[in-house]
Amino acid sequence: MVVMHPTDARTRLLIEGELAWVYGPRRHELAVVRIDAEGTLPIGNVILRDIAGASPSEFVRVVKPDLDSRGRRPPNTDFA
């Protein structure tokens, strides 16, 4: 689970309960997004819970997954 400031979540187009990629220095994982309703979390900070790829005081990136594209495929081919 990743808890974010509402402004940060809005910037990344994330909503409450959505999945987001959390990229840490060693690995990346999908996490459920929670929005800090009280606004006590400073902008730019996140709270991580049950994320094995990050330790306290490390930089992480939170990214909305691109579910619309399926990666590369040969030209002139359609989805089956």
To the question of domain 2-63 being in CATH 2.40.40.20, the answer is yes
Domain positions in the chain: 2-63
User: Which value, in Å, is the radius of gyration of the alpha carbons in the chain?
Assistant: 15
pLDDT, one tens digit per residue, over 13-43 is 999 999 999 998 888 899 999 999 887 999 9
Predicted confidence at residue 69, as pLDDT, reads 72
Measured in degrees and rounded to the nearest 5, phi and psi for residue 54 equal -140, 145
pTM above 0.85, yes or no: no
